Structure 1
Amino acid sequence: MDPAIVKEHFDRIGCFRVLVMGRSNAGKTTILQRVCNTTDLPEVFNSKGEKRKIPFCDTKCANYSQRGYHSIEDELIFKSNRGFIFHDSRGFESGSENEMEVVRDFVADRATTLKLEKRIHAIWFCIPMTDYERAIMAAEEKFFNECNMGSVPVIVLLTKTDFLVSPAIGQLIDEGLSMKEAKLRAGDLAEWMLNYHKTRIINELDGLKCPPKDYLTLANMNQDDADCHPLLRCTTNALGDIELQQLLISTQQTNLVLNIECIVEK
């Protein structure tokens, strides 16, 4: 993109802002690191722009929200890519009415605020396949029934889909296969399981009042060569505003494939 156009978008709208939702074991931090091409943790700023001293981490700081440090208003920013600002609705998974009200108010305010630099542009809702037997819980149902996202697209990310290989192996062994045979056939069964559960999740969420815009499966995001291109591409397609699409693409100047694809389409 023309650097002048990029600057114009950033000056008018600010950074591309994403609300990340999901359970504490959904791999949210890893996904954000991949998108921003880093292994470092983000800096955390409160709503006043003051840097917090408490580091952000799904595992080491599991009690972060419970200690009163966490707020959905907090801004998570990676030094490697300051074109993104992330918000995390940590604690949402318990599905309490108080937590739902916080999320509902935040989405309602940030989806329509006249302050363009504060507006959220997309929501990534992570559902880990480590919980494939109970993928949709009360918290998910409440969110997609009660939160009107307006024009902000919600993309459901089925994360950690590579986990399904393990129960696939166990099922094949239970059926009488040897360990060697089970490992050879586990990939096909795991793919079938993923398609089955993805279809079940889509059918359930699409039947609620405020369904997602799209669905995406992610695997092996903890590996150094993990590809976040499908996520960025899916998010770009979900945006209804060409200016926002250009803003998102501009944060990924090193992602030549994404840039070329969007240029060809336009």
Structure 2
Amino acid sequence: MNSDAETPSEDGLSFWNDRNLKFRVLILGRANAGKTTILERLTGASMDEAEVWRDGRILPGQAVKGQIDRGLHNIDDEICFRPKPGFVFHDSRGVEAGSATELSTIQRFVEERSSAAKNLRTQLHVIWMCLPLDECRELFESERDIFRLLKGTAKVPLVVIFTKRDGAVSKETSQILMGSLGNTRSRSIRRGARGQAELEVIDRVKELEGELRGLGLTDDTTMFLTTGGILIDVDVGGSVLTVFRDGNAYS
């Protein structure tokens, strides 16, 4: 029997470590969706320190940061960080382009790696879909296509991450102050403008989440998160996604 297809024992951590398994994440999102920031915060390392592996070999001279910012990675490449050796990341290209070729590439990747019965070493454990809050207020049609695809094919938990919350609040604050009739240098006025901006960003998140749920593109395996005071971590031994918000852990 292939050892990669064995059923885990009750001691999940021992099973995981003995086989040197990795927690594998597919991270999706348009260019400048904040994927780089998330990976750097999670791993505690710069993207310049990342290693890219292909077919068991490390690729020399990879400018990972520039590639992931523009969504230029080969989805099969493995992005690894020495401070977090238990993680492997995959990045797709051209999400905002929405081409049939890229959708097919994502579908093939997810289908091949969704089943633990095939190979635990290449199994995909979670998909992160990044949606930036500081740009367009609406979903791209290509992003809807991605959700439709994942809804139809994925057997993997999906985490929708609304990124760049702080940038969105700053933009909204500036717009509110521009329309203010009072003294915009006043501390109380600026504080009030920021509070209003934060509420508007919260409403935007609720609208986007509501749209996805209303279209039937999410289910009970979907989690919604917003960046800003949040650190995402994973118990690699138990394959458990944990979110730390304001010092509290949510699994």
Where on the TM-score scale, by shorter chain, does this alignment land: which range? 0.7 to 0.9
Higher strand share: 2
Contact 1:44 1:51 in 2 (8 A): yes
- Please name the residue that 1:16 is paired with: 23
Deviation at 1:149, TM superposition (A): 4.8
TM normalised by structure 2 equals 0.80
Q: Spell out the pairing of 1:1-266 with structure 2 (5 A cutoff).
A: 6-12=13-19, 14-41=21-48, 42-46=50-54, 48-59=55-66, 65=72, 70-112=73-115, 114-134=118-138, 136-147=139-150, 148-163=152-167, 164-181=169-186, 182-211=189-218, 213-219=222-228, 227-228=230-231, 231-232=232-233, 243-245=238-240
Cα distance change, pair 155–31 in 1 and its aligned pair in 2 (3 A): same
**Any idea what SS the aligned residue of 2:159 has?**
strand
Question: Can you give the 5+ residue segments of structure 1 that lack an aligned partner in the other structure?
Answer: 220-225, 237-241, 250-255
**Any idea what SS the aligned residue of 2:114 has?**
helix
Counterpart CA distance in 2 for 1:150 and 1:57 is: 27
Deviation at 1:112, TM superposition (A): 1.7
TM normalised by structure 1 equals 0.75
| Aligned alpha-carbon RMSD (Å) | 2.9
Counterpart CA distance in 1 for 2:34 and 2:194 is: 22
Deviation at 1:158, TM superposition (A): 0.7
Contact 1:19 1:120 in 2 (8 A): yes
Residues paired across the two proteins, number: 229
Contact 2:163 2:227 in 1 (8 A): yes
The sequence identity of aligned pairs, in percent, is 29
Counterpart CA distance in 2 for 1:64 and 1:27 is: 11
